[in-house]
A = this chain, B = another copy of it.
Amino acid sequence: MAGDKRELILDTAIEVMAEEGYYYTKMSWIADRAGIAVGTIYNYFNGKEEVLEEIFAREFEKRLELLNELEASRDLSVISKVELFLVRHFKEIKRNPALGNILVREKEFPKKEGSINNYLDKLPNAIESLLIEGKESGELDIDNPALIAAIIFGGIQGVVERSIKKENLEMLDDASAEIISLLKLRATNN
């Protein structure tokens, strides 16, 4: 049941941080909302930062795992891979928009090793890798994979951010098709 308590804390933290932002969120608010004592949080996490870290770690690892799986599968075109990733990502955000809000907004962390900063690069890097693969295989005709990856990654974040702020989650349904069109434009015709 220890796992349950940890889960409860994380879920509550996501809610509160999504509403208030990481820096404005007080540990006591999380505790109150979760119906536990502040001290209890410290039985499961080493501190406030670690709570956020864990949220990022879980979500990023989930996505990196998916990307790795996709990358490995030989049968899929690069474009399909990216598309599958987007579809899955937006589905998750739609299921838990609060989580999406956090992933998209929290970009300021103390400059120390081993913290969240590590994760923030991995996703755009992975997308970039996919694009390079597509370029090398001849599937895509692109000069600057880093640029395209940056636009795609930014576009993803933009859609999430905007759909949440405008409380229009339906926007997420068409997002992958729209973003992927940017890639299809570069598809060679073989």
Q: Which residues of A contact B (CB under 8 A)?
A: 20-24, 104-111, 121, 124, 143-144, 146-159, 161-163, 165-166, 168, 171, 174-175, 178-179, 181-182, 185
CB atoms of A159 and B166 under 8 A apart: no
Given known pairs A22-B108, A108-B22, A108-B105, the reply for A147 and B159 (CB within 8 Å) is yes
The interface residues of chain A, by DSSP majority, are classed as: helix
- In the assembly, what is the distance between CA of A13 and CA of B129, in Å? 36
CB atoms of B182 and A181 under 8 A apart: yes
CB atoms of A146 and B168 under 8 A apart: yes
- In the assembly, what is the distance between CA of A65 and CA of B103, in Å? 31
Counting every copy of the chain, the complex holds 4
CB atoms of B151 and A179 under 8 A apart: yes
Closest to A153 in B: B158
CB atoms of A158 and B151 under 8 A apart: yes
Taking each of A22, A111, A154, which has the highest tally of chain B beta carbons within 10 Å of its own beta carbon? A154
Q: What's the nearest-Cβ distance from chain B to residue A42, in Å?
A: 13
Closest to A186 in B: B181
Chain B residue numbers with a CB within 8 Å of A24 are 108, 110
CB atoms of A108 and B23 under 8 A apart: yes
Chain B residue numbers with a CB within 8 Å of A108 are 21-24, 105-106, 108
CB atoms of B147 and A178 under 8 A apart: yes
Chain B residue numbers with a CB within 8 Å of A148 are 178
CB atoms of A158 and B162 under 8 A apart: no
CB atoms of B185 and A181 under 8 A apart: yes
- In the assembly, what is the distance between CA of A179 and CA of B144, in Å? 13
Q: What's the nearest-Cβ distance from chain B to residue A95, in Å?
A: 19
- In the assembly, what is the distance between CA of A146 and CA of B161, in Å? 12
